[in-house]
Amino acid sequence: ASAFDAVPMAPTDPLFGLMAAYKADTFDKKVDLGVGAYRDDNAKPWILPVVKKADEINRNDPSLNHEYLPIAGLASLTSAAAKLVLGGDSSAIADKRVVSFQTISGTGAVHLGALFLAKFYPRPENQSVYVSNPTWANHHQIFQNVGLPIAQYPYFAKDICGLDWPGLTASLESAAPRSIILLHACAHNPTGVDPTQEQWKAIAEIMKRRQLFPFFDTAYQGFASGDLAKDAWAIQYFIQEGFELCIAQSFAKNFGLYGQRAGCFHFVAAPGAHAEDVAKRVSSQLAILTRSEISNPPIYGARIASTVLNDPALFKEWEADLCTMSGRIVAMRKALFDKLVELKTPGTWDHITNQIGMFSFTGLSEPQVQKLREEFHIYMTKNGRISMAGLNTRNVEYVASAFDQVVR
Ligand code: PLP
């Protein structure tokens, strides 16, 4: 007998199950709209030209070796990463109240933040971490794993395929003081719906008044709009407003470094006389947490991102690559929308072009999603989320016409 006879079978990860089903499908016009990774117009993974260059620079550098990184990671990456998300002229950086740790991509950054908050954030018994409904599914598991209770704030209004503004604000107004609020900095996953700048200001006002703690997850900076500053606007606004906060930053999508697992966690201490001291103490604890879990982070993706971020010419090329990716996605949104309008597909489809980033919540129902998979070999998650990166000039008409047929 095994000591583990009572271990229940866990469900397979829905997204990875979807990928396996797509792979096994032999139909030649099959379409993968599930994948959370950028694809070029040939439906192929895309190595950013600037990443290729940075890769070559690093591979040909005789001074480099495979030694361990420090616990906090590659300093040239973490400092550039902080500047990227907070702005080069950030007063928080100048005041030395920012602590930055390299992590196992964005997932590791959310986890390190969750672990740190579970251990050190003073939270009376009944306070929760509020995540948007819906959110990136992993948020639930990560916070639960460290013992933080989860609550949800309404986010998506099905009737308008847009932001549930009354629901969101009412929920923040009623959250217990000191609750932690997980916010997607831009390109909300899975809905593609972001607050406007005016709405962000109102969210900040409520959160300040109700003493709520912001934890930003930024996995799409530059990838969403093509404009790095615009996609970091909300975070920079909150810091300008004097919030103390956490940031989980991923370089998976905006550098196309998915499997290299490059990312950073940042803690920004509230401004004030003791801020630098708080930052130092937090840093010392993050070092212990990191040491016990991963010892030190992986080196190669970090070197590539650091090479690009610290070289003005390469940085410019990166910005152009970001525009290539975001521009293709915007073009696919428009192509899908135009085709649906042309077909006079029942319903309104403005949300396809209004939403931003990798994903779009189509509003398709679960039976419609099932039909798309069974009859048209088009794969997407059952909540009707599609990855815009899975569309290209060759398949967008096929997809639009399939959507048209399943909604009629
Ligand atoms: N957070 C959000 C909202 C995401 O969508 C993702 C990736 O899909 C991540 C974090 C983390 O991804 P990674 O761990 O690959 O950086």
Q: How far, in Å, is the centroid of ligand 1 from the Cα of 137?
A: 10
The residue whose CA is least distant from atom 12 of ligand 1 is: 106
Q: Mark whether 13 is an active-site residue.
A: no
CB 248 within 8 A of CB 286: no
DSSP secondary structure string for all residues of 30-44: -EE----S-B-TTS-
Query: What's the confidence (pLDDT) of residue 178?
Result: 93
This model of the complex carries an ipTM of: 0.99
Q: Are 314 and 53 in contact, with CB atoms under 8 Å apart?
A: yes
How far apart are the CA of 217 and the centre of ligand 1, in A? 8
pLDDT computed for residue 344 by the predictor: 97
| Distance from C-alpha of 153 to C-alpha of 155, rounded to nearest angstrom | 6
- For atom 11 of ligand 1, the residue with the nearest CA is 106
Helices (H), 69-164: 75-86, 91-94, 105-120, 138-145
CB-CB contact of 261 with 104 (8 Å): yes
DSSP state letter for 295: S
DSSP state of 224: T
Q: What CA–CA distance (Å, rounded) separates 112 from 127?
A: 19
Cα 107 to ligand 1 centre (Å) = 6
- Classify each residue of 136-148 as buried b or exposed e, where b means 16 or more C-beta atoms within 10 Å of its C-beta: bbebeebbeebeb
**CB distance 36 to ligand 1 below 6 Å:** yes
Question: What is the rounded distance in angstroms from the CA atom of residue 133 to the CA atom of residue 69?
Answer: 38
Query: Full-prediction pTM beyond 0.90?
Result: yes
**Tens of pLDDT, residue by residue, the chain (408 residues):** 999 999 999 988 888 888 899 999 999 999 999 988 999 999 999 999 999 999 999 999 999 999 999 999 999 999 999 999 999 999 999 999 999 999 999 999 999 999 999 999 997 777 899 999 999 999 999 999 999 999 999 999 999 999 999 999 999 999 999 999 999 999 999 999 999 999 999 999 999 999 999 999 999 999 999 999 999 999 999 999 999 999 999 999 999 999 999 999 999 999 999 999 999 999 999 999 999 999 999 999 999 999 999 999 999 999 999 999 999 999 999 999 999 999 999 999 999 999 999 999 999 999 999 999 999 999 999 999 999 999 999 999 999 999 999 999
According to DSSP, the residues that pair with 156 across neighbouring strands are 163
Sign of CA dihedral 233, 239, 242, 243: positive
Q: Residue of the nearest CA to atom 2 in ligand 1?
A: 219
Residue 379 to residue 332: CA distance in whole angstroms = 17
What distances in angstroms separate CA 78 from CA 13, 297, 333, one per listed residue?
31, 12, 34
In short, whether 103's Cβ falls inside 6 Å of ligand 1 is no
Nearest CA to ligand 1 atom 9: 106
Provide the pLDDT for residue 16: 83
| Matching residue, tokens 């004030």 | 272
Euclidean distance between CA atoms 98 and 81, whole angstroms: 11
Spatial CA neighbour of 99 closest among 289, 230, 261: 289
Degrees to nearest 5, angle at CA 121 with 269 and 290: 80
**DSSP three-state, residue 109:** helix
Q: Is the CB of 263 within 6 Å of ligand 1?
A: yes
Locus of tokens 């489809």: 349
Closest by alpha carbon to 239, among 356, 26, 362, 87?
A: 87
Asked if residue 113 has its Cβ within 6 Å of ligand 1, the reply is no
Q: Which residue has the tokens 């290539």?
A: 324
**Which residue from 136, 39, 33, 37 is spatially nearest to 373, judged by alpha carbons?**
33
> From the alpha carbon of 135, which atom of ligand 1 is closest?
3
pLDDT of residue 33: 96
224 ligand 1 Cβ < 6 A: no
Amino acid present at 111: H
Task: Give me the catalytic one of 164, 194, 217, 231.
Answer: 217
Q: Which of 19, 102, 189, 381 to mutate to test the pocket of ligand 1 (most atoms within 8 A of CB)?
A: 189
The backbone region for 136, taken as left when phi is positive above 0, alpha when psi lies in -120 to 50, beta otherwise, is beta
